[in-house]
Amino acid sequence: MSLIEAAFRFLCLLVLLGSGFPASNYTVSHEYCVLGAGPAGLQMGYFLSKSQRDYIILERNDGPGSFFDMPDLLFQRMTRELYPSADDFPRYLSMFVKELGLKVKYGTDVGRITAADINGNQGYVLTDQTGVSYQCSVLLVSTGLWVPQQVNFQGSDLVEGYESIPTDPEVFRDQSVLILGKGNSAFETAQSILGRASRIHLYSPSPVRLAWQTHYVGDLRLEDIAIVHRAREEGKQRRAKKGHQAALKGNEPLYLTLSELLEEQSGKNISGQNLPSYHTDNFSLRQPYDRVIRCLGFSFNFSIFDGSARPPQSTGARGRLPAVTAWYEGRGTPNMFVLGTAAHSRDYRISAGGFVHGFRYTVRAVHKILEQRYHNIAWPATKFPVTQLLPWILRRVNEASGTYQMFGVLGDVILLRGSHCEYLEEFPLQALPQLHVLSGLPISDQGLLVLIMQYGLNQTDTLGPGRAESEWTKAWKSKFLHPVLYYYNTVPTEKNMRQRPVGWPLPRPDALHHMVEDFLTEWDQPISHTQPLRRFLEHCLGADLRAFYAESCFLLSLTSRAPPIFCRQGYLRKQGIVGNHHLWKHARDAGLMEDHQGDSEPGDDASLPKFLKQTGGVVMSMMNYELFDLTQNLMEPKT
């Protein structure tokens, strides 16, 4: 080899390594490998980048598919349309990657994933189309569902796939089309060719399910159902124009028959007598079709995993998804987590985990679990006095989006610790038995509260009479999405979780409170929402959670061995609000406090000696400390 040739190869190697694209048969090591640059993968990349972790996002295509966080990265920068164009989303994601500086390697088609021992723990090795290997301690799979779902039957090779049909509706002019499937993709396809095709039929073994009735966004949406009404009218109009059936040039018409009629002859010698119309002359699909289109959805790509790394198929969703634990780790595949649509087996047909507005919150929950397991960083929790629990819960039910979008799947957990509590946001409910391990927080013996959003258990006609409950005393009958609090003396066990009542997101609690459904989804009214919630919290905590003016706290501290906790945590520690004429009158008129002073003004408080009022705040501040010490001594048990 000449010196010039050797120098040229050395320079090529430097350029290759410097560009971030390693040579073939090269191994690159990272702590985290994120497979797929869709919305879930990019969001996890955002969290890993924010935590300054060693990660790489591998994407087989030449651009991202997804989204998220910063205020100036809202999707409104792309379009303000309620139903934006599909092309707007990839452009937004490209902007998301660029502005956040995420580490994404495009054009990397991973074809094989194997398990490997890495530092005594199970890790994974990913090999791409060029032979480059990526070794990682933790694998985060966010590939989505992209393998077309197919059904094998006699003549299935003549069926076209949703993923490959022409997008120009003029191609279908004057053709009769049969669409297999009754989901959103089937109705979208039908709607796009409506007005061109001479006849459109949709066929599937299951009935149409409407999203506004099932509360599941994967079912048929309102904008797609319009074809049902339009098709009736267009069918009448086109009857006069049809004339004769057109066939694809060079292709024969496609006839449908029943499998049991073919089985009698083992699929041989098929003739007109094998068709259902020969046996039943009003068979609904007796006319031939020019095209049959398959719109049966997509499934997870299991083929890239070898036996050592392949997660099992889910029992639900017809096995199209990988089976995962309650904390989204693959079953039997430690240190492999499944994100996004692929993790929808946890809440299939229950919540929104298979859609971007839902899994953006489950991805965040998984990141918190990763931080605790691999970096010993506990789940973020806010600690505050129990006197602040009521307003905190009201703020969460009115503002939190994670528990609202992932209803019945993510919930807020409140760990009760006597006079204080710790508040964890958006914890996976089914993982509650592993609360201590996954959160890294100690569990006290004083109980816990779980706040979730929940639909009523009984199905109802969402557009019919009696569809809503407005009386707060019957809040447990609420049918629409509403807040529900579960109180447990101890953390539920795995057995409790398995044996929970049918349709319940959690085991039967020691106490339960429903906040009545609200048309405006604003739970802030004093009688219907706040007061019932306060009474429930007082029952669980065994404490009076009412708020008192400083004058009332002073009186209660002198006359009670155990003044309310609001006074102990506020007034006796030099905090609290002094009442004035308007505040006192409003409180008395509303029945919120007793009239200890008769008609006297707060400034003329007869319960205070004149010389105390003249001394001002210094003496009162000293009295606060003395009263606090006296109260503490009275409350301490005698030995």
Average pLDDT of the chain, as a whole number: 82
Bigger pLDDT: 441 vs 154? 441
pLDDT average, residue stretch 460-484: 85
pLDDT, tens digit, for every residue of 87-146? Answer: 787 888 888 888 889 999 999 999 999 999 998 999 999 999 999 999 999 999 999 998
Bigger pLDDT: 4 vs 107? 107
**Strand duo 133-141 + 336-338: pairing:** parallel
Give yes or no for residue 477 having a pLDDT over 50. Answer: yes
* pLDDT at 228 (0 to 100): 64
| C-beta neighbour count of 628 within 10 angstroms | 18
* pLDDT at 619 (0 to 100): 36
pLDDT average, residue stretch 233-246: 43
pLDDT, tens digit, for every residue of 395-409? Answer: 999 999 999 999 999
pLDDT, tens digit, for every residue of 419-459? Answer: 999 999 999 999 999 999 999 999 989 999 999 999 998 76
**What is the enclosing helix (H) or strand (E) of 34?**
strand 27-35
Alpha-carbon dihedral 210, 213, 214, 219, rounded to 10 degrees? 20
Give yes or no for residue 466 having a pLDDT over 80. Answer: no
CATH 3.50.50.60 in the chain, residue ranges: 25-145+301-367
- Distance between CA atoms of residues 453 and 396, nearest Å: 11
3-state secondary structure of 43: helix
Residue 371 pLDDT grade (very low, low, confident, very high; cuts 50, 70, 90) = very high
Residue 265 pLDDT grade (very low, low, confident, very high; cuts 50, 70, 90) = low
Bigger pLDDT: 4 vs 229? 229
pTM here is: 0.81
Per-range mean pLDDT, top range of 2-11, 178-187, 594-603: 178-187
pLDDT average, residue stretch 359-374: 97
- Distance between CA atoms of residues 376 and 81, nearest Å: 43
pLDDT average, residue stretch 304-311: 95
Give yes or no for residue 394 having a pLDDT over 60. Answer: yes
Q: Can you tell me which residue has the tokens 């400034």?
A: 603
* pLDDT at 428 (0 to 100): 98
Percent of all residues in the chain with a pLDDT value above 90, rounded to a whole number: 51
Give yes or no for residue 638 having a pLDDT over 60. Answer: no
Bigger pLDDT: 427 vs 65? 427
* pLDDT at 254 (0 to 100): 86
To the question of domain 156-254+289-294 being in CATH 3.50.50, the answer is yes
Lowest mean pLDDT among 232-246, 347-361, 504-518, 536-550: 232-246
* pLDDT at 14 (0 to 100): 46
Q: Six-digit token pair at 629?
A: 């010490």
**H-type helices in 194-248, by residue range?**
211-214, 222-239
Residues in the chain: 639
Residue 593 pLDDT grade (very low, low, confident, very high; cuts 50, 70, 90) = low
* pLDDT at 604 (0 to 100): 41
How big, in percent rounded to 5, are the helix, strand and coil portions of the chain? 35, 20, 45
- Distance between CA atoms of residues 50 and 531, nearest Å: 41
Bigger pLDDT: 177 vs 284? 177
pLDDT average, residue stretch 478-484: 94
Bigger pLDDT: 248 vs 117? 117
* pLDDT at 573 (0 to 100): 83
Domain 25-145+301-367 CATH (choose: 3.50.50.60, 3.30.420.10, 1.10.3300.10, 3.40.640.10): 3.50.50.60
Residue 209 pLDDT grade (very low, low, confident, very high; cuts 50, 70, 90) = confident
* pLDDT at 400 (0 to 100): 95
Q: Say what angle helices 222-239 and 184-193 make with each other, to 10 degrees.
A: 40
Bigger pLDDT: 489 vs 67? 489
* pLDDT at 240 (0 to 100): 38
* pLDDT at 37 (0 to 100): 92
Q: Can you tell me which residue has the tokens 């489950």?
A: 362
Residue 617 pLDDT grade (very low, low, confident, very high; cuts 50, 70, 90) = very low
pLDDT average, residue stretch 199-220: 85
* pLDDT at 204 (0 to 100): 86
| C-beta neighbour count of 254 within 10 angstroms | 17
Lowest mean pLDDT among 45-54, 203-212, 273-282: 273-282
